[in-house]
Amino acid sequence: MSTDEGWLADTRTSYDTVATSYADQVRNLLDQTPYERAVLALFADLVGAAGGGLVADVGCGPGRITAYLRELGADAFGIDLSPAMIEVARHDHPGLRFEVGSMTDLDLPDASTAGLVAWYSLIHVPDDQVGSVFAHFRRVLRPDGLLLLAFHVGDESQLKTQGYGGHPMKVYVHRRRPGQVAAWLSDAGFAVEAQMTLGSAESKLGGILFARCRPGAR
């Protein structure tokens, strides 16, 4: 098994193991995070102002962000690496679209989405794989498509061996500086339109980046 396959397999297995406990812990988290709700509302408004269209919530977990975007009027659907997470999402949000898939190889047509959200779902992707992931994001977004990223801010990577509900996990949590993420986005053909940091129940220090596909960058 290659290193790439190894971290993906570890991430999938870890979140399959904790899916129910994780969902229970985060289900009502948006109630405690007014600034994050405002960020998501702004994203939905900007996508709508650009004509609307499909919005992919990549790394959707149990589907809470997907469902909230739908409440805001976005035509959102969710994708997650973990089949158990997708099962929970479909149970908690019947009628919404959820699919098993990986951000490292998105099974979506070129230019098929108006918006894409990766809400704290890049945190397990190794640095040397982020550029490839952003290239996939760029490919599936239409030319004026909007990308919203949320991630933990910092400089260190830590191995997480125990997670939600005390269940075993084996995932690295990578904390990154907004400037580094912005540079990776620029290299992938995005123009960063806004960036901020927020401290809340979501993250002790969370980074937020809005980026749009740069014309002619394909």
**Burial of 104: CB neighbours in 10 Å, binned 0-12, 13-18, 19+:** middle
- Whether residue 175 contacts residue 150, with contact meaning beta carbons closer than 8 Å, is answered with no
CATH 3.40.50.150 correct for 3-213: yes
Q: What is the pLDDT along the chain (218 residues), one digit of tens a residue?
A: 334 568 999 899 898 888 988 888 899 999 999 999 999 999 999 999 999 999 999 999 999 999 999 999 999 999 999 999 999 999 999 999 999 999 999 999 999 999 999 999 999 999 999 999 999 999 999 999 999 999 999 999 988 877 766 777 788 889 999 999 999 999 999 999 999 999 988 899 999 999 999 876 55
| Interaxial angle between packed helices 83-92 and 3-26, expressed in degrees from 0 to 180 and rounded to the nearest 10 | 30
* Domain positions in the chain: 3-213
